[in-house]
A and B are shown apart, each in its own frame.
Chain A
Amino acid sequence: MSTELSGAEITVRCLQKEGVDYLFGYPGGAVLYIYDELFKQDKVKHVLVRHEQAAVHAADGYARSSNKVGVALVTSGPGVTNAVTGIATAYMDSIPLVIISGQVPTHAIGLDAFQEVDTVGITRPCVKHNFLVKDIAELATTIKKAFYIASTGRPGPVLVDIPKDVSQQKTAFVYPESVSMRSYNPVTKGHSGQIKKAVQLILGAKRPMIYTGGGIILSDAASRLTDLVRMLGFPCTNTLMGLGGYPATDKQFVGMLGMHGTYEANMAMQHCDVLVAIGARFDDRVIGNPKHFFNQDRKIVHIDIDPSSISKRVKVDVPIVGSVPDVLDELIKLLKVSREKPDQTAIDAWWTQIDLWRARDCLKYDRASPIIKPQMVIESLYEATRGNAFITSDVGQHQMWAAQFYKFDMPRRWINSGGLGTMGFGLPAAMGVQFANPKGAVACVTGEASIQMCIQELSTCKQYNLPLKIVNLNNRYMGMVRQWQEYFHGNRYAESYMDALPDFVKLAESYGHVGMKIEQPGDVEGALKEAFKLKDRLVFMDFITDQTENVFPMVPGGKGLSEMILV
């Protein structure tokens, strides 16, 4: 007879079996048995954050930068409610996470016990799936299912809620090699007839456009995409979530599209005759007003693993449900053997048009400004890191500038909260990125408003010696809110200024880090160089930037893609 293990030990053994090396968490009453088991082993290393939101963001940053499942552990009640923002962030961006939460003992569930919340109920709308394990016999299989569901199909966070008595009871431990679920069978192969139709449309295109999103990154299909785009000679744009899917320094890349996309990307999107959308979902920030989008006639091919993403906001002509790498392989194979070739004269004319749009130089800014321009900081960051860093960001103007001005040539280097738009994401996500990439240079581009939403994590960074570089674009405003107030609310800056700011240099120092304040444009490059030379220290760079700078181009809410406000 095999020896019996406690639920807590089974939980930890399952994590070991899944190859989990880092676990981000915060202890509490309902997870004490699990922490006790973590203490007795050293395969799964626990990272103690300072707030549960940060545990989930860190697991998320870990997952985004590594293509492994990120794992977080939180206690019941407030542990879970604090984690919800992190879970929703991961859900909106389809990030594979497993969140293990403690729950009050089964006999106390429903009795308003201390630190009890209905975890499964609270998280249900923002997880791919969740489980409450009431029977220890189900524990190992449930954890196996959680990892399986999180990482297959369209990925997403899965939560496993474990009551305290279940973590204490004992049973024999058997970890299933695999699981199969009759109700969950994600597709892989795309429909070959549909792929053939897509090939016909692509070959017949006169003004083609390839538009790709986070699906390329999540499915590790960047190199296939690059092959396809180069083979066809078509222009390519990436969404905010898709940056790095196609090399940004390549001439066929027309920049990011959408609300703050480039003029050329948005114009090409609006005026193309064949649009190939891959792993993208025609989000409201991407195509603007869908009615305006359809003022122009075009055929759309849409490749996505999630059938519900197709024809959700935009009707498409050739839907292909399947895993992006599989479908791209098939597509490339068919294009290679096809005797037909794209109409080169038409494509050349299309590029001439795109180059005219490009000549509009929509990202220009005042480089001679006596006040530091935020765009210039990002450009210097790009130079200082030679484009090789992992860049996380918070949410707002700084996020858009980072997306516009840091040229991502590789996938999984740009880590941001695209769907939910979570301020406070950047710093904890950067911690996760650094754990997943201990040798990588990791910078967090943030603002003085966002950084304060998870500033407590500077303490975690000290404990684990994470040499992050924090690039704080400090304009003393919630910049994006201020920008909208300037344009749409008659310059009434309601509560969007940041008063009573801390001295970030002293704050960084009090946490045991290096702080720098940079006030002159001439000092930007030097500060960044110096910071990156400090390879084993976290450096907080507080850049005092132009308060009036806005993000351009800008598609106002409810407007069409080609109705941009330009500089």
Chain B
Amino acid sequence: MRHIISLLMENEAGALSRVAGLFSSRGYNIESLTVAATEDATLSRMTLVTAGSDDVVEQITKQLNKLIEVVKVVDLSDGDHIERELMLIKVRAVSKDREEIKRMADIFRGRIIDVTDKSYTIELTGTGSKLDAFLGAIERSAILETVRTGASGIGRGERILKV
């Protein structure tokens, strides 16, 4: 099963490699990983998407907690949460396609953030499946380049991950 795990860790050199190293050395899945400093510059917040049986995910959270620099771990999938991913996509946009792609971006609530006479670059956020759907809606041969951040997640309502 897919799990989205959020963690707070000391914002120190090498902390990220400890997490990444844990996943590779213990053979855990890692679908995506995002990390950046929080409003408190001493802390980094990481969102990890992984897949595994309940036993494996229990071990993953325990092993993450065991890392000395990890302050808190929460499995967001245990409750209501929101997740978003950002995608930047550069598409070929010439003649009549320009209007069609603009319309498609509007439907998906994307924004065109760079324009040349031959291409658009579109910014799109949403869940992973929404981004997949957008990619499916655009003609494959028109896609020049895509870049995705992987999911960031946060609990709904009162669910707060803070020190």
Binding site for B on A (CB under 8 A): 120-121, 124-125, 128-129, 132, 149, 181-184, 306-308, 311-312
Contact = CB atoms under 8 A, between A and B. Distances in A.
B58 interface: yes
A413 B36 CA distance: 49
A171 B13 CA distance: 23
Interface stretch (B62-70, B75-83, B93-101, B147-155): B62-70
Given A132-B13, A307-B65, A308-B66, 16 more contacts: A120-B14, A121-B17, A124-B17, A125-B21, A181-B68, A183-B9, A183-B68, A184-B68, A307-B62, A307-B66, A308-B59, A308-B63, A308-B65, A311-B55, A311-B59, A312-B59
Contacts of B59: 308, 311-312
Contacts of A306: 66
A306 B62 CA distance: 9
Nearest to B42: A182
Nearest to B9: A183
B25 interface: yes
Contact of B70 (A125, A128, A183, A308): A183
B97 to A, nearest CB: 47
A170 to B, nearest CB: 24
Nearest to B66: A308
B71 A124 contact: no
Contacts of A132: 13-14
B123 to A, nearest CB: 35
Contacts of A129: 68
Contact of A182 (B21, B65, B71): B71
A312 B62 CA distance: 10
Given A120-B14, A182-B163, A311-B58, A128 B68 contact: yes
Given A121-B17, A124-B21, A311-B58, A149 B68 contact: yes
Interface in B11-68: 13-14, 17-18, 21, 25, 55, 58-59, 62-63, 65-66, 68
16 contacts: A120-B14, A124-B18, A125-B21, A125-B25, A129-B68, A132-B13, A149-B68, A183-B9, A183-B69, A183-B70, A183-B71, A307-B65, A308-B63, A308-B65, A311-B55, A311-B58
A308 B70 CA distance: 15
A120 B55 CA distance: 30
Contacts of A308: 59, 62-63, 65-66
Nearest to A134: B13
Contacts of B10: 183
Contacts of B63: 308
A441 B130 CA distance: 71
Contacts of B163: 182
Contacts of B9: 183
Contacts of B55: 311
A183 B9 CA distance: 8
A124 B67 CA distance: 11
Contacts of A149: 68
A533 B86 CA distance: 77
* 9 nearest A-B residue pairs (beta carbon): A308-B62, A129-B68, A183-B71, A125-B25, A307-B62, A184-B68, A308-B63, A308-B66, A124-B21
A54 to B, nearest CB: 26
B16 to A, nearest CB: 12
Nearest to A158: B68
A124 B70 CA distance: 15
A238 to B, nearest CB: 25
Contacts of A124: 14, 17-18, 21
Contacts of A184: 68
Contacts of B14: 120, 124, 132
Max count, chain B CB within 10 A of own CB: residue among A128, A129, A183, A306: A183
A311 B68 CA distance: 21
A294 to B, nearest CB: 14
Contacts of A121: 17
Nearest to B60: A308
Nearest to A125: B25
Interface in B84-111: none
A424 to B, nearest CB: 24
A113 B17 CA distance: 22
A308 B26 CA distance: 13
A151 to B, nearest CB: 14
Interface in B113-163: 163
A307 to B, nearest CB: 5
Contacts of B25: 125
A496 B134 CA distance: 62
Contacts of B17: 121, 124
Contacts of A125: 21, 25
A132 B65 CA distance: 21
Contacts of B58: 311
B47 to A, nearest CB: 18
Nearest to A121: B17
B105 to A, nearest CB: 43
B37 to A, nearest CB: 15
A398 B134 CA distance: 66
A234 B65 CA distance: 35
A182 B162 CA distance: 12
A312 B59 CA distance: 7
Nearest to B24: A125
Nearest to A153: B66
A308 B28 CA distance: 15
Contacts of B21: 124-125
A120 B18 CA distance: 10
A149 to B, nearest CB: 6
A290 B25 CA distance: 22
